[in-house]
Structure 1
Amino acid sequence: MSQHNIFREQELIITRTFKAPKNLVFKAWSEAERLEQWWGPKGFSLLVEHLEFHPEDVFHYCIQSPDDLKMWGKFVYKTIEPNTKIVFLNSFTDENANTIRAPFSETWPLEMYNKLTFEETNGNTTIQLHISPYNASEAEVNTFGENHENMEIGFTGTFDRLEDYLLKN
């Protein structure tokens, strides 16, 4: 992955600490049956269409809103270091895993670079998620930058769901 394709000037960094060991937090990100219990906005359900957790493999999923709106997406894994780091490209897709435009914006980046790190201290795990536009046009980079607050709100809800899941497991 070429460094020049990642637009770090618009990078969004989200950090969250969970009361759980990092091996459990890592499993929550890497196993289909665990992802189905928490990935996506509050009130949404998740269908894992396909998950192969290896570099260059794919997590293809559908999130569904309470009013039956469906949105498909995928992660293409680039780097996996167990209990330490996951790097993946994320995009919206159709049901066949073909990358498509986001349903809410014609200028949303087609792909986003994500680096997720895990660090444990005294039984608590801090994750840090770095998200940047990848192979994006200037308009896409700007749209991404203008939507940091919305993304932070969305990830707060998703990470609240992860926290609830971890407390039960």
Structure 2
Amino acid sequence: MNDSLFFDFTVDKAAKTVYITREFDADLDLVWDAFTKAELLDQWTAPAPMVAKTKYQQFEVGGKRFWAMIGPDGTERWGLQRYTSITPKSNFKLFNTFADADETPEPAGSDWDYTFSAEGDVTKVHIVIYNESFERMERILEGFKLGFTASLGNLEQLLASLKQ
């Protein structure tokens, strides 16, 4: 990791919100693609030793991404994301929830708001995650912070390889 790049992970329990800001040494187009194209998302979103696999994705307002994190023993943890707003190369929002393999969503989920900005060849991604319930946030928070931080490290490596 380039130590001069900014990274912050802040939890506001009272607001049931997580704030993540991360800079990447890559141009905006490449970072945007890494967050919005299934073939790239599958290469970085699961922390090792798990892998990500997208069953389908329609990156459009009202579209969905149905995907799984698959453990080394074959255990699948499915997720369903519904895109609610897209401003190309600037911002997108989605509703995220866990689901079963038949796409039946869990009742509680979280709203994710991604904002992208660039300064030269450095792209900043700011993510705001609002959880519907404090209990859900508490249940996933510890593992989420470790896993998501590891996934962002995967993304940094992927971006470096794609720039070559």
Runs (4+) off by over 6 Å: none
* Matched letter for residue 68 of structure 1: G
CA contact (8 A) 1:14 1:152 kept: no
Secondary structure of 2:15's counterpart equals helix
SS in 1 for 2:49: coil
Q: Percent identity?
A: 24
Structure 1 residues 74 and 8: alpha-carbon distance in aligned structure 2, compared to 1, 3 A threshold:
farther
1:117-132 to 2 correspondences below 5 Å: 117-132=115-130
The equivalent position to 1:13 in structure 2, one of 19, 27, 34, is: 19
Q: How many residues align?
A: 150
In the alignment, which residue of structure 1 is the partner of 2:148? Answer: 155
Cα distance between partner residues in 1 of 2:56 and 2:128: 24
Tell me if 1:35 matches 2:28: no
Q: TM-score, normalised by structure 2?
A: 0.84
Unaligned runs of 5+ residues in structure 2 are: 1-12
Give structure 1 stretches of 5+ with no counterpart.
1-6, 102-109, 135-139
Q: Cα gap change, 1:44/1:147 in structure 2, threshold over 3 Å: closer, same or farther?
A: closer
Change (3 A) 1:63 1:123: same
When residues 141 and 31 of structure 1 are mapped into structure 2, their CA distance, relative to the original with a 3 A threshold, is same
CA distance in 1, matches of 2:43, 2:30: 14
Match of 2:52 in 1: 46
Distance in 1 of aligned mates of 2:14 and 2:60: 25
- The 5 A counterparts of 1:80-159 are 80-100=86-106, 110-134=108-132, 140-145=133-138, 147-159=140-152
Q: Kindly indicate whether structure 1 or structure 2 has the higher relative contact order, using CA contacts under 8 Å at least 6 residues apart.
A: 1
Residue 42 of structure 1: how far off its partner (Å): 2.3
Aligned counterparts of 1:86 and 1:118: Cα–Cα separation in 2: 9
Structure 1 residue 24 displacement after superposition: 0.6
What TM-score, normalized by structure 1, do the two folds share?
0.82
